[in-house]
Structure 1
Amino acid sequence: MNSVLNSTFFAGSMEEKSLALDSQGFANGTYKIIGMILAVCLVHAGVGPCIFSERLYSHITSQPAPPEDLAEVDDHDFRSQLQKIKNARSVEEAREWVEEASTFLSMLGALAPIMSLDDRDNLLKSALHYYLNGRLEAVTNQLKEGLEILDVLRTVRTYPDILKSLFVGGGKPLSASEIMNLFSVVYSECGSNKRAVEEVAVGYWRDWLIDVELGEAVIITEDGEENITLSLENV
């Protein structure tokens, strides 16, 4: 799941992910495969992405999208240019910054004459709407095709509020006790030598999970050096 969400097909922080536009990936049907992976994780493991943006979740569930926000633009240069246009205090200044951003705006179909600051505001609204919604419509639809397997898409659209926490909000960190509860230990006969060894092994396992939860467990290389600090999500 983490590998998928950290791939080039998503943009944004690890608290809030949106789809990124990858033309080659779209041509290869990669977004559909990603949707299928997410659907299988949800149905067979009860694990959702948990860090989708509100906008992406609204697109998946066909609910009204939230108002466009300049902060959602993942391209730093374009966001900076739009910010300059937004901050313009006169028509002349707005025209200057629109000219600077004309290449991006033309690609979005949002380039328009600026005769007033109201025109400036309308241009910004159009640019944000297409960048955050229309530009990603095709890849979002392909993602939804993948989510159709195992009836996931229909279920999410039927119960968008109930299932929202599986897609949005960051998710709750795993605890050692939750992982322990995933297993039911079947011991050998009480008093046997095997039982004594099994109890020690289970004790070590539980102690190790607690160490991982506290950030005190690491993977050791053959050279005896610490390689990576483990987390329960890694486990």
Structure 2
Amino acid sequence: MECLSGGWMLYKANGGCGTRRINVIPPDSEGYTGSQFKSASASGKTMLYVVPLQEELDLNPLPNDVREFTKMPKATCQICNKSMPLQVLALHIQVCKSNDSTSSNEETEVQFVSENSLDEMKQENFPSESVLPCPICQLMFPVDSLELHASLCGEENLLKSPDHSSFMHNDDSCIADDTTGNSSCRQVLCLEDLLELLAGRVNAENHFRICVSRDNLLERGLKQWQRQKKGNPANQLKITFIGEAGVDSGALRKEFLTEMISGIEKRLFLGQKAKSPQYSNSDLDNGLFRTAGEIFAVSLAQGGPAPCFMREWCYSYLTTGEVDVTRICKDDVDDVEYSLLIAKVEEATDLTEFTDEIISCGYTGALNIEQKDAIIRRAIVLHAAFQVTPMLGDLRKGLQLYGLLDIVKDHPSLCKSLFVPGEDCTPDADYILSNVAPEMSERGTSRASVESKIINYFQDFLQEIECGVCAEDAAEVETEPSSYLTVPRVMQWITGQGHKPLLLSEQKAFQIVFKFDHDCKVRMPQHTICYPIVSACTNTVTFPVAHMTTYEDFKCIILQAIKSGGTFSRV
């Protein structure tokens, strides 16, 4: 490998004695490390393959006198008196015996014998019991050299196979083209692999176009998603907001998915942090839950936020298709009607007044105080859970897009963080400021001092939002309710997305560019005010510093900009 250039990666096969397709071993952020070699090879028990990205390895046997063999134990062949390393001698002996003499150019050459020449091998003193076919190439070899040949044969056949080059340049070459995605060659070792696998299944050559108004975005978005006849949601999503000039290069799609995931959470689910589906026959009949499942899959595959707001028992149903009664307790009931019934039963001294409600939940036992726990756990809680299983069933159908449902079934623990609340992944003020890349003037100038002051104003503004101080100011500019003004909302105003990127590669590349306009009054001497200019496609915001001399001016202008500047147009 001394002269090898163009990069290389490690691959390995998961069992199959070399007959299975090899899968890439992704390097760490700093490249391949010794600990990764040890982990990937199971402490030396698994063979690793070095696969060049732009060249081919020279697979010709090395001469016996090369420096790589100097420290290897050697022995002399008793037939031809050639000295060679023991590993090479094991193969050479068989060749030397069968030919009775060998040239120097054929010292390490393996004799390949076809199945039709088995009789000839018997004549050359190879009994049939000592000859077996190679499981890869099906050629016949002596038993004592078969194992070594098979290991070399597997690597050689893979590198020479006609579909190897396409496999190397396209990891998704054996992923099913349909939307179910039942087959996959990628090895899912972490959440990053899973998301990259989903992204690779998006058909980027065709588009799934949605043209929607910002007014009543959720309902209009769901309807337009269902009415789209010319495209398939497996294609790349392209969004157009009616009346806006913005061209979707990724920011519009992320903004649409952010709004849809948030809207679906509020519209179709009940609960506080962790939620369960809201029972609704009309939503079920209209296919809204299936559409929601498709939107979840598209969001995960195309850079949107993860729908991490479900209860654990709901996620368990998605992975298995069955309700695990051991995972459900009274705290998992989000329906207001059943929650009130549970509270009434717990406080009641006489259960007869709730007979109808309890019986309607399927309870058939005795109605007495001693059976309170059984009534709550076996009747009310389970009835509330089983009532929403049709909604979860439709959601599972939507998750079949890109084969996401199969991936969730195969990797339930890995996918759990995408659906169940865990570590808070919403951006805060520190996250945004740590990813700011300001384009500052020369240090020491008056402009640089003003620009530094604007950055401090922005940090104070975000921290006030976190503390809820900006609620009254938001009301003064007639913006949305105070719950609307959040740090993720500010980030969405600038970048189009209100969530941290899911992919590690996107997290490293994510940054918000601050620019500063010092000359707006020079260009337009008569104007009295102007607002920040946002480019969500490039994650850039330009501040008009001449109008932001004080923090109060800064806050008033930016609040108005967030309220009125969400569209891709000049106002």
Q: Name the TM-score, length of structure 2 as normaliser.
A: 0.32
Please point out which of 266, 279, 283 is paired with 1:6.
266
Specify the alignment match of 2:488 in structure 1.
233
Specify the alignment match of 2:396 in structure 1.
144
Displacement after TM superposition at 1:75 (Å): 3.7
Specify the alignment match of 1:164 in structure 2.
416
Partners of 2:451 and 2:289 lie apart in 1 by: 43
Alignment of 1:74-223 (within 5 A): 74-87=334-347, 93-94=350-351, 96-99=352-355, 102-103=356-357, 105-106=359-360, 108=361, 110-114=362-366, 121-124=373-376, 125-132=378-385, 134-169=386-421, 171-176=424-429, 178-179=431-432, 208=458, 211-215=461-465
RMSD: 3.9
Give aligned-pair identity as a percent.
20
Partners of 1:10 and 1:87 lie apart in 2 by: 28
Aligned residues of 1:50 and 1:165 also touching (Cα < 8 A): yes
Specify the alignment match of 1:24 in structure 2.
282
- 1:163-195: CA deviation from partner (whole Å, max 9, x where unpaired): 22222225323035645787889x8xx99xxxx
Partners of 1:81 and 1:49 lie apart in 2 by: 29
- 1:193-220: CA deviation from partner (whole Å, max 9, x where unpaired): xxxx9xx9899679636633542779x9
Name stretches of at least 5 consecutive residues in structure 1 with no aligned partner: 192-196
Aligned residues of 1:114 and 1:120 also touching (Cα < 8 A): no
Name stretches of at least 5 consecutive residues in structure 2 with no aligned partner: 1-260, 491-571
Partners of 1:180 and 1:43 lie apart in 2 by: 27
Q: Which has the higher contact order (CA 8 A, sep 6+)?
A: 1
Specify the alignment match of 1:194 in structure 2.
none
SS at structure 2 position matched to 1:227:
coil
Q: Could you say which structure has the larger radius of gyration?
A: 2
Q: Give the partner amino acid of 1:157.
A: K
Partners of 2:328 and 2:289 lie apart in 1 by: 23
How many equivalent residue pairs? 217
Displacement after TM superposition at 1:118 (Å): 6.1
Aligned CA distance change for structure 1 residues 157 and 183 (closer, same or farther; 3 Å): farther
Displacement after TM superposition at 1:30 (Å): 0.3
Q: Give the partner amino acid of 1:78.
A: Y
Partners of 1:19 and 1:111 lie apart in 2 by: 23
- 1:67-123: CA deviation from partner (whole Å, max 9, x where unpaired): 43223333434333333434556xxx23x1442xx14632x3x14251666655444
Q: Name the TM-score, length of structure 1 as normaliser.
A: 0.70
Quick check: 204-213 or 170-179, which moved more?
Answer: 204-213
Partners of 1:84 and 1:34 lie apart in 2 by: 34
Specify the alignment match of 1:72 in structure 2.
332
Partners of 1:225 and 1:79 lie apart in 2 by: 39
Partners of 1:83 and 1:69 lie apart in 2 by: 13
